[in-house]
Amino acid sequence: MQRRRFLALSGALLAVACDRRERAAKFNATDITGVDWARGFELADHTGKRRTLEDFRGKVVMAFFGFTSCADACPLALAEMAEAVRRLGPDGAHVQGLFITVDPARDTAEVLSKYVPAFHPAFLGLRGTAEETARTAKEWRVHYQATNAHEGNAKHYMVDHTSAIFVLDARGQPRLYVSQNGRSVERIVEDLRRLLNELS
């Protein structure tokens, strides 16, 4: 009897371990399913409309924190996000790209309205007050800090920031953390397709 119970328990534990390995291998990006952060925001988009994650329920969301004066990481991430949506073809209509500025002092609604849709017409730029930006970054575990400020020119500085793309499923649940290292459009498209298939 004890042996049968031991074998049954071992089998159950093995099944759980295999299931976890399968889920871990399911995506190219880091699977963050079940985390208790990156749960939402309340910010204004580049048209001035207040937005929350609820506005995008039913769509897979890609969100990136950055700033428009960024020379490399930000335009690269937005270009990759936009190309991934294009490669999805008609399914791309079920993916929403968001660019959340960590530099609201310079990234006005007007600046965002020219910058973000240039990558993809359906993408939205989001901004808040300094306090809202800090609160949102904390919720999403995003680091940002102004650096290299030049004396006599308060508007000339860079911002160090987390350069990952966050992906949420159609229920608004955080699912993937796409780090800059090893990131590619092909791998992003594969992951998006897997999440979109959950809708069917």
Quick check: 87 pLDDT over 70? Answer: yes
Among 23-32, 47-56, 59-68, the range scoring the smallest mean pLDDT is 23-32
By C-alpha distance, which of 177, 168, 173, 78 is closest to 125? 78
By C-alpha distance, which of 183, 174, 138, 142 is closest to 159? 142
Quick check: 5 pLDDT over 50? Answer: no
Q: Could you give the C-alpha distances from 72 to 68, 158, 166, in angstroms and in order?
A: 10, 12, 18
Token pair in block for residue 114: 């020219």
Quick check: 182 pLDDT over 90? Answer: no
Quick check: 160 pLDDT over 60? Answer: yes
Q: State residue 199's pLDDT score.
A: 81
Domains within the chain, CATH numbers bracketed: 30-197 (3.40.30.10)
Check if the beta carbon of residue 96 is closer than 8 Å to that of residue 60.
Answer: yes
The mean pLDDT value for 132-161 works out to 83
Q: What pLDDT band is residue 158 in, cutting at 50, 70 and 90?
A: confident
Give dist(CA 115, CA 97) in Å, integer. 13
Give pLDDT tens digits for 168-177.
Answer: 999 999 999 9
Quick check: 13 pLDDT over 50? Answer: no
Token pair in block for residue 19: 């299931």
Q: What pLDDT band is residue 163 in, cutting at 50, 70 and 90?
A: very high
The mean pLDDT value for 89-97 works out to 97
